[in-house]
Structure 1
Amino acid sequence: MSKAETPLELSEEQWLHINETITMLTLAVAQIEASILESEKSFGRLTQSFTTIVETVNAAPDPSTQAHELRLQLDGLKKDVHNAVVDFQFFDRLAQRLCHVKESLGELGGLLQARERLDKPEEWKNLQQELKGRYTMACEREMFDMILNGVAIETALAHFKANYLDEMAKQNEDDGDIDLF
Structure 2
Amino acid sequence: MLILSAIQVEDMMTEADLSVNTLTESFTSIVEHMQAINKHLLALNSCDIRDEALACCSETTDKIQASIVAFQFYDRMQQCLQHVTANLKGLSELVESPKRLYNPTEWRQFQHEIRSRYTMESEKLMFDAIVQGKSIDEALSIKNTHQEEDQSDNIELF
Shared fold (TM-score, shorter chain, > 0.5)? yes
Name the counterpart of 2:58.
Answer: 75
Name the counterpart of 1:17.
Answer: none
Name the counterpart of 1:26.
Answer: 3
Name the counterpart of 2:131.
Answer: 148
Question: Deviation per CA, 1:74-124, whole angstroms, max 9, x where unpaired?
Answer: 011001001011112222222211111001000011011122222222211
Q: What fraction of aligned residue pairs are identical, expressed as a percent? A: 34
Is contact 1:139–1:160 with CA below 8 Å preserved after alignment?
A: yes
| Aligned partner (choices 38, 42, 49) of residue 26 of structure 2 | 49
Q: Give the aligned length.
A: 152
Question: Greater shift after overlay, 104-113 or 56-65?
Answer: 56-65
User: How far apart, in 2, do the equivalents of 1:165 and 1:52 lie?
Assistant: 34
Name the counterpart of 1:21.
Answer: none
Change (3 A) 1:54 1:160: same
Question: One-letter code of the match for 1:150?
Answer: G
User: How far apart, in 2, do the equivalents of 1:49 and 1:78 lie?
Assistant: 14
Change (3 A) 1:133 1:41: same
Please give the TM-score of this superposition, normalised by the length of structure 1: 0.76
Q: Which runs of 5+ in 2 are unaligned?
A: none
Change (3 A) 1:168 1:114: farther
Q: Which runs of 5+ in 1 are unaligned?
A: 1-23, 176-180
Name the counterpart of 1:39.
Answer: 16
User: How far apart, in 1, do the equivalents of 2:18 and 2:151 lie?
Assistant: 24
Which structure ranks higher in relative contact order (CA pairs < 8 Å, sequence separation ≥ 6)?
A: 1
User: How far apart, in 2, do the equivalents of 1:167 and 1:127 lie?
Assistant: 29
Please give the TM-score of this superposition, normalised by the length of structure 2: 0.86
